[in-house]
Amino acid sequence: MRKRFPETLATSLLLLLLTALASRLPAQSEGPARAKTGTGMAHDISGVWALGKIHKRVSDPVAAMTPEGQAKFDFNTHELKNNRPITIDPAFTCHWPGVPHIYGSGAYAFEFVQTPQRIFIFYENTHQWREIWMDGREIPKDSDPLWMGYSVGHWDGDDLVVETASFNDKTWLDVRGHPHSDALKLTERYHRPDRDHLEITFTIDDPKMYTATWVTHSYFELKPAWEIGEAFCVPEDQSKFFQESLQEPGKTAPEK
* Alpha helix (H) residue ranges in the chain: 9-24, 32-36, 67-76, 235-245
Q: What is the pLDDT of residues 36-63, one digit of tens each?
A: 445 666 788 999 999 866 545 556 789 9
Q: Residue 60 has what pLDDT? A: 75
Domains of the chain by residue range: 47-226
Measured CA angle at 14 (ends 8, 19), to 5 deg? 130
Q: What is the pLDDT of residues 125-160, one digit of tens each?
A: 878 899 999 999 999 999 999 999 999 999 999 999
The answer to whether residues 38 and 222 touch, using CB atoms and an 8 Å cutoff, is no
The answer to whether residues 244 and 75 touch, using CB atoms and an 8 Å cutoff, is no
Q: Residue 53 has what pLDDT? A: 65
Q: pTM for this structure?
A: 0.75
CATH classification code of 47-226: 2.40.128.20
